[in-house]
Structure 1
Amino acid sequence: MAAAPVKHRLGPGGPLTQLPPCYYEGYLEKRGPKEKASKRLWTCLCGNTLYFFNNAKDTHYVEKLELGGFVSLKDDCSRDRNLEAARLILRMKDGETKLTAPNLESRELWKGFLYSVIDLNVPSCLTLLPGQLQMLKEVVEKERSRRRTRTPTRAPPSPLSVPLVGEIPACFRPVSRTEAEVLLERHPDCGNMLLRPGRDGCSLAVTTRQDLNGSVFRHYRVTQRDQGGYVIDVENPIPCATLHEVIDALVEKTAGTLQPFLLEEPYEENITYVTANDENGEHMLHTAPTSPLPKAPALPPKQDRWCSSPCLDLLLQIDVFSHHLCHPLPPTQ
């Protein structure tokens, strides 16, 4: 379970720089990209940023790591002097940070909280208890609410202000330039080119990623023409009738090196629901039964109303016998 949240964590400037709400905290050993040795620091996940303090009682952090440039989070299976310790590799756009949790259970919880504030979804790939999953669900809701209510210094242009014409390609994503780079780097097997809104809100852009001793990103502006269609704004502009032709033109110009980014979102395989225990109030996650639906009872086969049956045959024989009794045949001559 998480430690009690810190209510008043401050930045170097004092009360005017109070930090976002703390979702999870505890001691971690941290070694940044340029650090030669690990440091044991009290670590707080406040909002979508990790803040590091010298100890649990300090109110002013000494380092912070914003998670906006997140790329991946992986277990580090290398051995440690402390056999109970469990390592993590947190890869960001500007390098890797190695974190060491006290034990495996603590590492799973850290991963759960980190994924929850980064993806704004409860991760389904971790081994956690129902109560811990409920905690993560509450963190996701709080972080979503925090991001909706905070006032940005400059409102970014809405993707909806882009007047798209015609069918939209599947590789279109309503993301910023930075978010597009993170998506392409996190999912290299899903393609390396996506279409997104431009910064000015009146144009579009194509972001691409390729490997050349590391990730190489390129951004191309796509504008609409007054007479209809689109133009890829390069040195020799490339006119295209539709957005699909924009993507096809870039694939063709690069001999297939660039491929549309198609990320398949995972779907649940089972139906789950949460119930509360009336005695202790604890919430439990249940999986609905997967038995097939009962089949409707089969109707009896249709029969021709003129078809014979044993009872009908018997009635006919009785009727013929009665007819002969009442109307005997005349004697033969």
Structure 2
Amino acid sequence: MAAAPVRQRPGPGGSRAQLPPCYYEGYLEKKGPKEKYVEKLDLNGFVSLKDDCSRDKNLEAARLILRMKDGETRITAPNLESRELWKGFLYSVTDLNVPSSLTLLPGQLQMLKEVVDKERSRRRSRTPTRAPPSPLSVPLVGEIPPCFRPVSRTEAEVLLERHPDCGNMLLRPGRDGCSLAVTTRQDLNGSVFRHYRVTQRDQGGYVIDVENPIPCATLHDVIDALVEKTAGTLQPFLLEEPYEENITYVSANDENGERILHTAPTSPLPKAPALPPKQDRWPSSPLSRSPAPDRRILTSSVPASPTNPMRRLILSPSPLAQTLNEELKMKLEKRRASQE
């Protein structure tokens, strides 16, 4: 990218107005790929950034290794806190996103967010000498493969270089705005990039413009053809964008006016209301709960044994049935006596 988040010193006859806006300034020791001290860094070819654990004569100093497309640049910060903040600015300006993996204070995170907003606005308002083609001008037909990325040739190389585990082939708009291109990356004593033009045919479908053109019915077939031709060496680039795990918001302190980043409290999901106790469909009456006069019970007269697991069951009247039978018998005898 064109805007490095560092204030540069103008050279003889130079003007500060020609430099990108200053987002942050401080003292850093920078040494380029050929061990020459450099005055200015262009982050257009940014690839990666990692900590350098080698010792420095200044025990409090902290080092960084800034990897660019044309080599590595070693940066030395005064201390660990300064290095972490510089990393935050570098990632914010190159990726246009506040990094979440760094140990920074809430005020510093808010400052990085403001830098991201300013850089986005600056990129939208600038008028380059030759505007890059808009991805919207690409006449895509049919379903778009998930490895399509609306990026330029250089941005495609940086993506493949920075995320080698996500695949090594992506589909992107062509430079002319009327065609497509496939960018691939492979390792051969370093990164090897290849770019293949993909154009639409008047009669429908697409064609991969190589020495022996490969016709394809859809864009998915374009990707499948390259995977098949390379015996699976080329794989589609699928990058999963990170999402926040917590809800955060910014508020101002009433006492000093400082803006602080807060994390919203997490509460468990509300429990579903308990179901009412199950009731019988037809309510029972006291009469229905009393046993019928002729109800019988089963009793076992012979206990089971290991040699005889069967039991002999005898059907006998219940005690209540016996009582009713005795009362009925007495009434019949009294009636016969009165008749005689």
Q: Give the CA deviation at 1:214.
A: 0.8
Alpha-carbon distance between aligned partners in 2 of 1:242 and 1:233, rounded to the nearest angstrom:
15
The unaligned stretches of length 5 or more in structure 1 are: 36-60, 320-332
Q: Which has the larger radius of gyration?
A: 2
Change (3 A) 1:216 1:302: same
Q: Give the CA deviation at 1:80.
A: 1.2
User: What per-residue deviation string (whole Å, max 9, x for no partner) do you get for residues 91-127 of structure 1?
Assistant: 0000000000000000000000000000000000000
The answer as to 2:210 corresponding to 1:234 is yes
Name the one with the larger strand percent: 1
Q: Give the CA deviation at 1:7.
A: 9.0
Q: Give the CA deviation at 1:304.
A: 3.7
Change (3 A) 1:316 1:72: farther
Alpha-carbon distance between aligned partners in 1 of 2:331 and 2:48, rounded to the nearest angstrom:
89
Retained in 1: the 8 A contact 2:8–2:39?
no
Change (3 A) 1:6 1:140: closer
1:110-129 pair list within 5 angstroms: 110-129=86-105
Retained in 2: the 8 A contact 1:89–1:98?
yes
Q: Give the CA deviation at 1:258.
A: 0.6
Retained in 2: the 8 A contact 1:31–1:98?
yes
Retained in 1: the 8 A contact 2:168–2:235?
yes
Retained in 1: the 8 A contact 2:197–2:209?
yes
Q: Give the CA deviation at 1:172.
A: 0.3
Retained in 1: the 8 A contact 2:183–2:193?
yes
Change (3 A) 1:317 1:32: farther
Q: Give the CA deviation at 1:205.
A: 0.2
Change (3 A) 1:238 1:305: closer
Retained in 1: the 8 A contact 2:4–2:20?
no
Q: Give the CA deviation at 1:157.
A: 1.2
Further displaced range: 215-224 or 5-14: 5-14
Q: Give the CA deviation at 1:303.
A: 2.5
The answer as to 2:137 corresponding to 1:161 is yes
Q: Give the CA deviation at 1:196.
A: 0.2
Change (3 A) 1:308 1:286: farther
Change (3 A) 1:200 1:296: same
Residue aligned with 2:220, SS: helix
Q: Give the CA deviation at 1:198.
A: 0.3
* Identity score, percent: 90
Alpha-carbon distance between aligned partners in 2 of 1:17 and 1:316, rounded to the nearest angstrom:
126
Retained in 2: the 8 A contact 1:3–1:24?
no
Retained in 1: the 8 A contact 2:4–2:43?
no
Match of 1:325 in 2: none
Q: Give the CA deviation at 1:240.
A: 0.3
Retained in 1: the 8 A contact 2:3–2:43?
no
User: What per-residue deviation string (whole Å, max 9, x for no partner) do you get for residues 247-300 of structure 1?
Assistant: 000011011111101111111111111111111111112222222122243242
Residue aligned with 2:123, SS: helix
Q: Give the CA deviation at 1:62.
A: 7.1
The answer as to 2:279 corresponding to 1:303 is yes
Residue aligned with 1:239, SS: strand
Further displaced range: 265-274 or 192-201: 265-274
Match of 1:318 in 2: 332
Q: Give the CA deviation at 1:17.
A: 4.8
User: What per-residue deviation string (whole Å, max 9, x for no partner) do you get for residues 100-158 of structure 1?
Assistant: 00000000000000000000000000000000000000100111111111111112111
Change (3 A) 1:316 1:209: farther
Match of 2:62 in 1: 86
Change (3 A) 1:233 1:84: same
Residue aligned with 2:26, SS: strand
What TM-score, normalized by structure 1, do the two folds share? Answer: 0.80
Residue aligned with 1:315, SS: helix
Retained in 1: the 8 A contact 2:28–2:77?
yes
Retained in 1: the 8 A contact 2:48–2:66?
yes
Q: Give the CA deviation at 1:242.
A: 0.4
Alpha-carbon distance between aligned partners in 2 of 1:297 and 1:188, rounded to the nearest angstrom:
49
User: What per-residue deviation string (whole Å, max 9, x for no partner) do you get for residues 148-202 of structure 1?
Assistant: 1111111211110011011100100000000000100011111110000000000
Retained in 1: the 8 A contact 2:156–2:183?
yes
Change (3 A) 1:165 1:314: farther
Change (3 A) 1:18 1:194: same
> What value does the CA root-mean-square deviation take over the aligned residues?
5.1
Alpha-carbon distance between aligned partners in 2 of 1:3 and 1:179, rounded to the nearest angstrom:
16
Change (3 A) 1:89 1:243: same
Further displaced range: 278-287 or 260-269: 278-287
Alpha-carbon distance between aligned partners in 2 of 1:223 and 1:314, rounded to the nearest angstrom:
105
Q: Give the CA deviation at 1:71.
A: 0.4
Retained in 1: the 8 A contact 2:2–2:44?
no
Q: Give the CA deviation at 1:64.
A: 1.5
Alpha-carbon distance between aligned partners in 2 of 1:104 and 1:123, rounded to the nearest angstrom:
17
The one of 46, 53, 65 equivalent to 1:70 is: 46
User: What per-residue deviation string (whole Å, max 9, x for no partner) do you get for residues 193-241 of structure 1?
Assistant: 0000000000000000111111111000000000000000000000000
Alpha-carbon distance between aligned partners in 1 of 2:263 and 2:134, rounded to the nearest angstrom:
39
